[in-house]
Amino acid sequence: MEIKTVPGGVCAAKGFTASGIHCGIRKNKQKRDLSLIKSDVPATAAAVYTQNLVKGAPLTVTKHHIENGTAQAIICNSGNANTCNADGIEVAERMCELAGSALGISPDDMIVASTGVIGKPMDVTPIAEGIPALVAALSESGSGDAAEGIMTTDTKKKEVAVEFSIGGKTCRIGGIAKGSGMIHPNLATMLVFITCDAAVSAEMLQKALSTDIKSTFNMVSIDGDTSTNDMVVVMCNGLAGNAPIVDEGEDFERFMCALNAVTVSLCRMIAGDGEGCTRMIECTVTGARDETNAKIAAKSVVCSSLVKSMIFGADANFGRVFCAVGYSGADVDVTKMGVSFKSAAGEIEVAKDGHSLDFDEDKAKSVLSEGEITIAVTLGDGDAEATAYGCDLTYDYVKINADYRT
């Protein structure tokens, strides 16, 4: 199956427009703080949400709105999470009413999301005043502005789109994401909005999304903290003209492959933009007894503060990798374990069969000094494999979070 990267982000698919403006939620007028994504026609919708018991009000409202499997637009603000607020549900519903009215669609067809400081009272006035400009700015080139509007401590926009075919019809799927800190998903993710012009039933769309996140967003960790507002949403409007996907088969597999291409790309972007990070870490575990054990081991490595600090220092202290696998709970034979480090500067094997190897420290330093590092762990127990995504731990992470609210 050919999957081709294309420009456009969430506007790459037919019938989708987007926008992002500064409405006044954030004090910095140079930062966009309100985003909108709209489909020309009603779309099937699916979502997954944070498993944190403390949840943002927008998640409750969105879950209710898409119970029927349909949505047509997404509104999201940054600068305030609308979480732990007495009137949070009322504010989230009001955002849907205001946006729906301006777009000429039912508030019940609106998806709503918020990100920012938790427990800060949220005044809907700036949003109400900004919506006319937000709607007027909708365009097929608005994905970048929308991606900016959902950023908090992110330093880079995160957007991607790909083109593929189903039943002879050309389809496109694209997404934007935000996520830099408070990232340790559990059956959900940061804020990710994905649009597609393929025709997929709501049931199959939910199945595709729920399956995909197990090996993508659930395998990302920046700092071990699961956010209160994590949510990923997918909308498919069917304008590509393919025969609707209503059950499993070749068409569904093709859609799954395209969805995965988008989600993996966004995972890497999120991991590479962790708060204060200087290096993206990808841990690949191969030779595991089964996929579950591979995932447990891989995520334990990227979650380890010692491993993350090791990568920051470009120090090939592979014992920290062994240690993280050893306490992960994965069923492994440590006498068969091996570790290699890889990057654009090359590859170096540092351990094999459970023990260290002689290696060139200077070369190891060079490999670990690149911006993207792969920690390759071999277990020698089977054929299963998994990949997890993370970043290094730096002084700046503490600085950013020490005064995040103030």
Are 38 and 18 contacting, i.e. CB atoms less than 8 angstroms apart?
Answer: yes
All CATH 3.10.20.340 domain ranges of the chain, comma separated, are 280-402
Instruction: Single out the catalytic residue among 115, 152, 189, 263.
Output: 189
CB-based contacts of 20, cutoff 8 Å, min separation 6: 32, 34, 35, 36, 134, 137, 142, 144, 145, 146, 147, 148, 149, 150
Q: Is 189 designated active site?
A: yes
Q: What's the pLDDT at 227? A: 83
**Span 280-402: which CATH code?**
3.10.20.340
Are 54 and 83 contacting, i.e. CB atoms less than 8 angstroms apart?
Answer: yes
Are 348 and 360 contacting, i.e. CB atoms less than 8 angstroms apart?
Answer: yes
- Note the helical H segments in 196-249: 202-212
Give the span between the Cα atoms of 190 and 221, in whole angstroms: 10
Q: What's the pLDDT at 35? A: 98
Q: Tokens 């069969």, residue?
A: 353
3-state secondary structure of 288: strand
Q: What's the pLDDT at 228? A: 86
Give the span between the Cα atoms of 161 and 256, in whole angstroms: 14
* CATH topology classification for 4-271: L-amino peptidase D-ALA esterase/amidase (3.60.70)
Element (H, E) at 90: helix 88-103
**Which mean pLDDT values do the consecutive 10-residue runs of the chain (406 residues) have?**
97 98 95 98 96 92 98 97 96 98 98 94 97 98 98 94 98 95 69 98 98 94 84 97 98 98 97 93 98 97 97 97 97 97 98 97 98 98 97 92 82
Task: Using DSSP bridges, classify how beta strands 4-5 and 384-391 pair: parallel, antiparallel or unpaired.
Answer: unpaired
3-state secondary structure of 323: helix
The encoded tokens of residue 190 equal: 């940061």
